[in-house]
Chains A and B, each alone.
Chain A
Amino acid sequence: MLKLYRMLLHLYPAAFREEYAAAMEQEFRHEIAEAQLGLAVVWLWMRLLFDLAVSIPVQLASEIARDSRHALRLWAKRPWHTGFAVVALGVAIGANTGVFSVVNALLLRSLPFRDPAQLAALMHFLPPHDSAAQFESWRRHSNYLQDAALMEDGDLNIGHPQHMLRAHIAMTSYNFFSLLGSQPVIGRTFASGDHAVAVISYALWQELYGGSDQVLGRIIRVYGLQPRPDDPLTIIGVMPADFDYPASTVLWKSPEYSPGNNGWATIGRLKPGLTWTQARKAFAADVHRLEPHRRFRADWIPIVLPLQDQLAGHVKKASLLLMGVVITTLLIACANLANLMLARTADRQHELSIRSAVGASRGRLIQQVLTECLLLAMVSAALGLIVAVWATSLASKVQPAALPSQAYTILDARVLAFMVGLAVVSAVMFGLLPALGVGRTHMFTARGSTELRSSRIVRDVLVTAQVTLTIVLLTTSVSVVRAVSHELHIDRGFRADGVITASVALDGTVRDKPGQRLQYFEEVLDRLRGLPGVQSASATEFLPLLSGKFMGGPYAFDSHPSPKGTATDVIPIMADYFATTGGHILYGREFTDQEIRSDANVVLVNETFAKLWLRAADAVGHTVTGPDGTARTIVGVVRNLDFMGQYISDVFDVDPPETFIPAHNPGGFDSTFAMKLEGQPEDHVAAIRAALQSVDRGVPVYAVETMQQRMERAFARPKFYRTALVFFASFALLLAIIGIGAVVSYAVTQRIHEMGVRLALGTTPTRLRARFVRHGLATVALGTLGGIACAASTGKLLGNVIEGAKAFDLTTYVLATVSICLIAAASIWVATRRIGNMDVVEILRAE
């Protein structure tokens, strides 16, 4: 029993324990001897445990407060050192917390649906869907899905012809809501057999109906949906404010099945008890059963994924990469601080020796150093809060979450616990070595004695580790910078500067009639071309970079059918399109106004399409036949246009075959005007919006912005990764330089006597400094080798996340090695400048 009590006494802080543990043990012996009977012993133990529970926290708090006061006094003496440590650690902890808040929101926080772990996304796969019965039959007979739902979403016009709104609409199978387990706030969701009904979002309910209960039964129209473009829909329910799946939907419509509609996406719920491995196997078998002869493209293989993973998409990989980067930065900061604390503790050996001499035990001194480190980590974490809030808000802008419930925030128990945990772990990481060194330090007696060889080795190891991690970050950031810069400067087949774009949607408006659409576009183009500063104007149904949906299909060339598995995109355009957007007509010409008006059977093809059959230069004059049987004559060949830039990290053909046809019936869901301007395009935005609206107030005009702004948005994510990586790599490099400099500077102080002797024996200060540089560079070189080995092994992951980042890049490695060696040499040279001013006589006399 005494043993147990003795163990419990170890929970007291060191100083208190050393003073009173013996007396307390003695007391315990007395009391236990007095309490002979079983019940009395139990009662004694209860009292003792209560006593421990009350007094241990009091003693801990009091001793921590005392150590903290001592630490603060020490910090005040070296404000620069302390400031550097707090900032370095604060930035690292803050960045970690910020990135973790994203990982937490996307991957750890449950989706706001019933039993979300069982929800699945069936990617690159379409179940039978030509009719409701067909889909229902597949769904009911599934051996791995308890339920499955279809959905198709996109931006459409809603409202009435005089007042149109552009909104995100989803058409879903009737069981969509029940599959997710989501309930409406008023009314009901879809039931089997429902036709022409809609459920609206809370936001739309407020905006259009002022939150009135009378909304149920009201009629709302959605325009542009095929095959029934403007059926009136009866509102039957309103969803809660936090429900907007998929992709900020404001209206869910009952389904219309039609053969050949490939716009559906499929979600499902796994059968109870089924693992993901089993589900994947069953899914693969299902795909094979449905399409036994289909060969899938390597980047388009059907797969079943947890819905959470699908929603996180490429943000998941990127966030995990960033998490790796910030953890590496934190490790570097910890290695740096460990070195700093080691040097500082060694500097304090005089004070520690005295404290030890007056009775402070090693445990007591270790506790004091650890408290100092913990305090430093906590102060840094407080600073880190600011960095974390900033990082989180930046991430929300650059890579917003798919659902409102996934909003990134640090005000989350898990995130805050992570931050505190990180601070504690960091404190242990950078505090443990100095703390363990304390017991030995105080045994040094003579001032200026040479330090232990082992502690010098520890310092060198820390520097090596720091250099290793820095090289990993450096090479990663250089790879990413090169990949992203390449991506940004690639020829996309159009010019972004000096171009303004504006989108319109005619569906459901008074202009949505045969003949009226083209007339509207011609009126607009006339007005735009008449504006001062406008050099040329045109329009397209799909704007480069930002289109995810296309019309298209197999296109035949002369009498040759389309190659198997090749789908050609079709982009309707107006006259002057390439002249306006800076596209390159390689051979032939573009369309004239007359050809657009008469819907002439002409076509432009891109290089990829032409090269499917012959040399691009020979394509003009040949015939292309579309899936509808219309034969068109090729009048020009254009350079490939990049329509998919925003999916930079996703799986799409880089240069798919494209054909351009006259936009005789324009005004679909992605119709966009483009204007080429003189001077700053931003100055013309207001005039252009006004001109567009003046043609017809009933037509919604949206996204009036420069092409440059659209580009910025499309590449915001890779640019963000680039900036983040460059920042952390620079930060790590700075820490490494300061770290190396500090270690060398400290070594100079420690070895002052030895150097005095060497100088007295005739060596020159330059030679001594060169020795330091040689030794330092050997350490750095070792770290660099380790760094390159790590970078080469993690490079593959990088290549997966950032398109074009090379897994192994010799130039980058050479560049990183040379730069870190040069910087390290310079840092060491500066740190040893004191040697040049040394007074040998003074040094030897002092000894």
Chain B
Amino acid sequence: MPSADNLIPLSPAVFHILLSLGEGERHGYALKREIAKRTNGKLKLGPGVLYGSINKMLELGLIEESDERPDPHLDDERRRYYRITSLGRQVARAEATRMRELAEMAAATFGKARHA
């Protein structure tokens, strides 16, 4: 089992998938829309990159397939849902820490960014 530290830094796609799944189970298409919304449309994952990332994350054990469907009447049975694993949470936290430290280092060097 790989440790969380060995898996960072994460690609933006993987990090965003973990963030989205942190809020609950989602299927692929929902993940994609959620990520686009969170990033104000800046990160639009194509299907190849999205499922490629999901495939990789499944292999690494960051996420797993969920057997439960939120509401069978509202959703297509064939869709697969994914949920974050405890390793996935650890990795997401480790990545967030890494980014925070990076941001603090940048602030110490260049000063804090001002928002207009």
Contact = CB atoms under 8 A, between A and B. Distances in A.
Interface string B60-71: 000000000000
Contacts of A846: none
Contact of A27 (B29, B52, B54, B56): B29
Nearest to B54: A20
Interface of B is mostly: helix
Interface stretch (B41-49, B91-99, B108-116): B41-49
Given A16-B55, A19-B55, A24 B32 contact: no
Interface string B10-44: 00000000000000000111001000000000001
Contact of B47 (A19, A24, A62): A24
A52 interface: yes
A20 B76 contact: no
Interface stretch (A43-51, A299-307, A320-328, A426-434): A43-51
B80 interface: yes
A12 B28 CA distance: 18
Given A16-B55, A23-B80, A55 B48 contact: yes
B32 A22 contact: no
A26 B76 contact: yes
Contacts of B51: 16, 19-20, 23-24, 55
B28 A55 contact: no
B73 interface: no
A51 B44 CA distance: 10
A30 B29 contact: yes
Task: Indicate the member of B27, B51, B54 with the most A CB atoms within 10 Å.
Answer: B51
A47 B55 CA distance: 21
Contacts of B76: 26
A51 B55 contact: no
Contacts of B32: 27
B21 to A, nearest CB: 16
B28 A22 contact: no
A27 B49 contact: no
Contact of B46 (A16, A47, A58): A47
Interface residues of B, number: 18
Contact of A51 (B48, B54, B79): B48
A58 B49 CA distance: 9
Contacts of A48: 46-47
Contacts of A47: 44, 46
A20 B31 CA distance: 14
A28 B80 CA distance: 16
A54 B80 contact: no
Nearest to A25: B47
A26 B29 contact: yes
Contacts of A20: 28, 47, 51, 54-55
Interface of A: 12, 16, 19-20, 22-24, 26-28, 30, 47-48, 50-52, 54-56, 58-59, 62
The 5 closest A-B pairs by CB, nearest first: A51-B46, A55-B48, A20-B51, A24-B47, A51-B48
23 contacts: A12-B48, A16-B52, A19-B55, A20-B28, A20-B51, A20-B55, A22-B78, A23-B47, A23-B51, A24-B47, A24-B48, A24-B51, A26-B78, A26-B79, A27-B29, A28-B47, A30-B29, A47-B44, A50-B46, A54-B49, A55-B46, A55-B48, A59-B52
